[in-house]
Amino acid sequence: MADKKTILITGATAGFGWACARLFAAHNWRLILCGRRRERLEELREILADSAVHIAVCDVRDQGQVAVMIDGLPEEYSRIDVLLNNAGLALGLNHAQSADMEDWETMVDTNIKGLLYLTRAVLPAMVASGRGQVVNMGSVAGSWPYPGGNTYGATKAFVQQFSRNLRADLHGTGVRVTNIEPGMAETEFSLVRFHGDRDQAGNVYQGVTPLTGDDIAEIVYWTVCRPQHVNINSVEVMPTCQSWSPFAVHRESGQG
């Protein structure tokens, strides 16, 4: 029987990360699960009691904590086949002129710098072994602007271009890179975006059928299971109920 493969999932305590943990466990993968909420990680480890699971409480914004997590992996978890850079968040939906600078900094620190810390820590071993895959969680917001998306969308545009540049750097190494770009999905995302306001978060999903964590997990798993000679560069996916709006046009008052 082939040896188990190992995936490191950041942001495994909720949403996409949680769904990916369950799906990869069901396919007999060895899991390294990372997030800040220890109790959620322990709950997930219990749910996945039949699987090989290593949990790591880690704030991806802290490069020191990331280094401790990677350096402290037990021997059997130390060869990472897939890094799923999923930890991330949107904070606020204010227009730029009234946005909270602390929210902006948190998004940059998490969605950009955290992803960089993990990638830089894991890549050398992948390159040395001649295989591996980095799967980044981007967003449609990285390609398509919307009011209030300002810094969140810009962090995901970074993820999109960084993913492409990684492919350029990793040319010929056998290491694959994929950027997943989901649209609206019901997770804890909106609850976090609206700083815990359940009504505001609930309104986002009123009367629609959004994507689910399981939908995204299946896509992540599909990209990882392509044959080694196939690299899925990006997957953009929206719920059927979501599409684009026309350009907004501001008209001078009195001009109709």
140 scored as a contact of ligand 8X3 (CB under 6 A): yes
Binder among 6, 133, 139, 150 for ligand NDP (CB under 6 A): 139
139 scored as a contact of ligand 8X3 (CB under 6 A): yes
16 scored as a contact of ligand NDP (CB under 6 A): yes
In angstroms, give the least distance from the CB of 149 to ligand 8X3: 6
Cβ atoms of residues 27 and 45 within 8 Å = no
133 scored as a contact of ligand 8X3 (CB under 6 A): no
Q: Which residues are catalytic?
A: 152
HSE-CB at 17 with a 13 A cutoff on CA atoms is 29
In angstroms, give the least distance from the CB of 211 to ligand 8X3: 9
Residues 154-183 that bind ligand 8X3 (CB under 6 A): 183
Binder among 12, 80, 112, 141 for ligand 8X3 (CB under 6 A): 141
Binder among 54, 182, 220, 239 for ligand NDP (CB under 6 A): 182
- Whichever of 76 and 100 has its CB closer to ligand NDP, that residue is 100
70 scored as a contact of ligand NDP (CB under 6 A): no
